[in-house]
Chain A
Amino acid sequence: MDQQGQQGLDSPWRSAWRSRGGPAWLIAALLIGFYVDLYWFDHLEPVARALGLRSKWFLYGALYSLGMVGGAVFYLRRHGNSRYHRVRIATNVGVQVLLAWTLPFVMPLLGGTEFYPSYFWPLKYDLLLPDTLWQLPLYLSIYGLVGSLLLSPLLAFFLGKRWYCSWICGCGGLANTFGDPWRHLTSKSTASWRFEKAAIHTVLVAVVFMTAVVVLKGLVGHDHPTFAAFADGTKQVYGFLVGSVLAGVVGTGLYPLLGPRTWCRNFCPMAAILGLVQKLGRFHIRVKPDMCISCGNCSAVCEMGIDVRAYAQSNQSFTRAACVGCGMCAHVCPRGVLRLENRVTVLGDKARQGLVTLDL
């Protein structure tokens, strides 16, 4: 069945674990504890070895994939009537299990390199650093460079940042599966929007600065040991603050309290770049004129904190840098007012025939 729209009502505000009740705080505490242990202790190493895994990171990857598969089953039981969500979630889970876990695990066993082809700079912030590029086989270095600097922005221009954030990315994938029960918790306040703009662009500047400094160190560090030490320190601080604290502890640990896209919305530098490209690109959410009843389902369900209703009720088709194109606003709209599209022309509503969508 490919019936459109939400099938059956959801009741998040009737469940304590989905509406910041005691169980939600407990789940958050467990998640935060898990991430703290993962990043800064080694209790998981022996467990990983006992399971035949090379390191705790593969154990983490296995748990991560399991969380996504489990979350996907629940998500698709609820929203799998929509073909968009079926294809999207299946792709995302497939990428995680095959490209982000199986491939990196198997490749070294076959004499290859441990490599994560579904992650690009600046999300994978060390991908473009000289140490990484020199160590990788040439074809993977080229893949990393082209994928990060050319392919990923280009795809974002044509398809919107959703091609990555809601179809490929592991962070987005976990948010849209395991984290989906909490999507309505993302704040829609003006204050949260101001914070988002400041925070995400700060991280973007930070990652560019860090990368530049480390690359420069690779060029001249030999002659300037003080600068080399500064570059190493910069990378370490970035790795600690952004890579571990914000992406892991805050990003995932606070799912049950702040919604599943805290990292993606406020801190992910890749989302920042793709968002800027998206603003210039072809993706938009089209609003059917004069049909919105201002019910608020679209805004409530937006995991990126966009007040979708504000656009829908004023008949304004729009593109927001934050939008990851999960499609849930359009899915839950009881009047079918919203539609995700990749337009070819900018002539607006008259250009109906010129619209190109993801239709297979």
Chain B
Amino acid sequence: MTPPLHFVIVGNGVAGMEAAVALRAREPQAKITVVSEESDHFFSRTALMYVLAGQLRHQDTEPLERDAYARLSLERVRARAVGLDSAGRRLRLSGGQELPYDRLLLACGSRPRPAPWPGAELAGVGHFVTLQDLAWLEAELHGGPSRGGPPPRPDAHLERSAPDSPYQPRPVAARRRGHLARQAVVVGGGLIGIEVVEVMLAAGLRPHFVIREDWFWPMAIDAAEGAWITQRLAGHGVRVHLGRGVAAMEGQDGLVTGLRTDDGALLPADVVVVAIGVVPNTGWLAGAGLDLDPSGGVRVGPDLSTSAPGVFAAGDCAAVPGADGRPRVEQLWYTARDQGRIAARAMLGDPVRYERGLPYNSAKLMDIEYTTVGEVWTGPAPDAAAWEWTLVEEGRVRSSTRICGRGDQVVGFNLLGRRWDHSVLARFIEERRDLSWVVQRLPQAAFDTELVPPLRVPADRLAAARALARPPQG
């Protein structure tokens, strides 16, 4: 009889924990160790903004009950992984400990992209990605955690961390300044940026929102949609600065006092949140002999195995082969969850392939609901056959329904202001339906709250859809 395998998972985020749960379901006897520097419990990172606002307690953001580690016999190690000896199958932890493994899953996620500007080290400047960032921002905005309390053992890792860790506590400017943040700047027109802006509004601040691009989140939102979001932000009292970069963070005695934009303007600030994206948290793997892509993502095959034997990667830290075969990092909740499940099966030797299928996502941009499915573009049409059809509602419901197509087929949806069942829209795309067919069947995909007046397509937009459904022959 062979001894039970030892599975080691680095990271207890959604990818790591999905894998741990799947492994335990199949292997009741195996030893499973989960290494996390950041937290005792798996929590929903996307919910950190609600904890910051005081809408949720930390515990509310934990998808599994707190006894999950005990119930599933998962061994928990609160320490930083600092190196990997893939030949000897040993994971090195900060403090000198080594963890031998039979199968290793790298699910160590992302870390915030560091601010490349002078003054980034000032107290009062930080990110909003980790639990430690949350604690820092809670201290700057509110003076400390809410009455819901901090996470359990917030500093259990400090003895076994490293200076370059994203899970190090940040200095709190409010403590030295003697008052909470009154003026705030958020840098970065993406999801984390707009979330922090929303929390700051709830905290009574009127933040500056500095966006380098010409409108908010041009990766996903087109100019007209972006104009609506800017208008909504401004209506809530946010000072939105579009098309402006950062020159430097200014400070005095080590405390941030403002942010200078690249056109020379100084935005006074007690706190600056830099939300310019995240990068794979894989700096510690340098020299481990793994194949990393230029962004830092661990390159994996279709079965999520890395270039080292017995080592797999899933979630934000993995560069998975896309439909075109090129590796890319997918920093989404649902892809991380799916990858975690697939990786667990691969670690058990199942012949599995990770296939993402049609991309989709949703978000909430301030108070505007957003759903996207399939291929959409946010600038000029990418090729001659590509077209788009838009329906803007400005009545009792404000919404924007944008459908992208190519030839006589619908290929994508970008939808703001209403709720949609993405799985129905994905089916429309997979069935290669034309625009007229799709527009007439949009109610099948509607997921609006009861009593909300349904979307009505006016005759002229319907005629436009019919015209696009039958492109001129030739």
Chain A interfacial positions (CB closer than 8 Å to B): 1-16, 19-21, 81-84, 87, 288-291, 293-297, 299-300, 309, 313, 327, 330-331, 334-336, 339-341, 349, 352-353, 357-360
Contact (A327, B444) CB under 8 Å given A5-B367, A8-B201, A12-B55: no
| Bound Cα distance A295, B59 (Å) | 10
Q: Please give, as numbers and ranges, the residues of chain A lying within 8 Å of B424 by CB-CB distance.
A: 352
CB contact under 8 A between A297 and B449, given known A8-B201, A334-B364: no
Give Cα A288–Cα B55 distance, bound, in whole angstroms: 23
Contacts of B449 in A (CB 8 A): 4, 82-84, 327, 330-331, 339-340
Residues of A within 8 A of B198 (CB): 8-9
Task: Please name all residues of chain B whose beta carbon is closer than 8 Å to the beta carbon of A295 when the two chains form the complex.
Answer: 44, 46-47, 50, 56, 61
B60 near A336: Cβ-Cβ < 8 Å: no
| CB <8 Å contact, A11 and B452 | no
Most buried by B among A331, A340, A357: A357
CA distance A335 to B343 in the complex (A): 26
- Chain B residue contacts of A3, Cβ below 8 A: 367-368, 397-398, 417
Whether A2 lies near B396 (C-beta < 8 A) is yes
* Closest beta carbon of chain B to A329's beta carbon, Å: 11
Residues in B20-42 with C-beta less than 8 Å from chain A: none
Q: How many A-B residue pairs have CB under 8 A?
A: 164
Binds A, one of B85-93, B142-150, B208-216, B304-312: B142-150
**In this complex, what residue of A is CB-closest to B199?**
A9
Partner of B447, one of A82, A299, A339: A339
The smallest beta-carbon distance between A196 and chain B, in angstroms, is 17
Given contacts A9-B53, A297-B56, contact A357 B450 (CB under 8 A): yes
Tell me which residues across on chain A come within 8 A of B333, comparing CB atoms. Answer: 293-294
On chain B, the residues within 8 Å of A360 by CB distance are: 451
List chain A residues, Cβ under 8 A from B451: 2, 83-84, 87, 358-360
Give the docked Cα–Cα distance between A299 and B63 (Å).
10
**Chain A residue with minimal CB distance to B448?**
A4
- Which residues of chain A are within 8 angstroms of B363 by Cβ–Cβ distance? 334-335
CB nearest to B334 among chain A residues: A290
Q: Is the CB of B202 within 8 A of A11?
A: yes
Q: In the complex, are the beta carbons of B362 and A2 less than 8 A apart?
A: no
Given contacts A9-B202, A352-B424, 20 further A-B contacts (CB under 8 A): A1-B397, A2-B396, A2-B453, A4-B449, A9-B49, A9-B50, A9-B53, A13-B57, A20-B147, A288-B421, A291-B422, A294-B14, A295-B56, A297-B47, A297-B50, A297-B55, A327-B449, A331-B449, A340-B449, A360-B451
Q: A4-B449, A9-B199 are in contact. Are A336 and B397 (CB under 8 A)?
A: no
Q: Which residues of A contact B62 (CB under 8 A)?
A: 296
Residue of B nearest to A310 (CB): B63
Q: Considering the complex, which residues of chain B in the window 62-109 have a beta carbon less than 8 Å from any beta carbon of chain A?
A: 62-63
Q: Count residues on chain B whose CB falls below 8 Å from chain A CBs.
A: 54
B44 contacts across to A, CB distance below 8 A: 293-296
Query: Which B residues are CB-close (under 8 A) to A9?
Result: 49-50, 53, 55, 198-199, 201-202
Q: A10-B55, A288-B423 are in contact. Are A4 and B452 (CB under 8 A)?
A: yes
Pick the residue among A13, A291, A331, A339 that contacts B56 (CB under 8 A).
A13
**Contacts A9-B50, A11-B53, A296-B62; is A340 near B14 (CB within 8 Å)?**
no
Q: A2-B453, A10-B55, A359-B451 are in contact. Are A299 and B418 (CB under 8 A)?
A: no
Cα distance, A13 to B71, chains bound together (Å) = 30
In-complex Cβ contact of B63 among A4, A296, A336 (8 A):
A296
B362 engages A21 (CB within 8 Å): no
Assembled-state Cα–Cα distance A181/B368 (Å): 24
Q: Which of B53, B420, B454 has the most CB of A within 10 A?
A: B53
Q: In the complex the two chains form, is A336's CB within 8 Å of B362's CB?
A: yes
Partner of B450, one of A6, A14, A353, A359: A359
Within 8 Å of chain A (Cβ to Cβ): is B369?
yes
Contact of A313 among B50, B63, B367 (CB under 8 A): B63
B296 to nearest A CB, angstroms?
A: 24
Cβ-neighbour of A11 out of B14, B55, B397, B423 (below 8 A): B55
Residues in A neighbouring B422, C-beta threshold 8 A: 288, 291
In the assembled complex, how far is the CB of residue A131 from the closest CB belonging to chain B, in whole angstroms? Answer: 41
Complex alpha-carbon distance, A340 and B60, angstroms: 22
Query: What's the nearest-Cβ distance from chain A to residue B278, in Å?
Result: 16
A residues near B56, Cβ cutoff 8 Å: 13, 295-297, 300
User: Within 8 Å CB of A12, what residues of B?
Assistant: 54-55
- Bound form: Cα–Cα A335–B371 in Å: 8
Interface 1/0 per residue, B413-447 and A, CB below 8 Å? 00001111111100000000000000000001001
Nearest CB on A from B67, distance (A): 10
Contacts of A8 in B (CB 8 A): 198, 201-202, 367
B:115-158 near A, CB below 8 Å: 142, 146-148
Q: Which residues of B contact A330 (CB under 8 A)?
A: 449
Q: A11-B54, A83-B452, A353-B444 are in contact. Are A1 and B396 (CB under 8 A)?
A: yes
Contacting residues, chain A, for B147 (C-beta < 8 A):
13-16, 19-21
A340: B residues at CB distance < 8 A: 449-450
- B310 to nearest A CB, angstroms? 29
- Top-9 shortest CB links A-B: A14-B54, A295-B47, A11-B54, A336-B419, A13-B146, A294-B63, A9-B202, A13-B148, A9-B53
Instruction: Using CB atoms, name the residue of chain B closest to A16.
Output: B147
The residue that B454 contacts in the complex, of A290, A331, A359, with Cβ under 8 A, is: A359
How far is it, in angstroms, between the C-alpha of A289 and the C-alpha of B424 when the chains are bound? 10
Per-residue A-contact encoding for B273-284, CB less than 8 Å = 1, 0 else: 000000000000
Q: Report the minimal beta-carbon distance from A23 to chain B, rounded to whole angstroms.
A: 12
Contact indicator per residue, chain B 358-379, by CB within 8 Å of chain A (1) or not (0): 0010111001110100000000
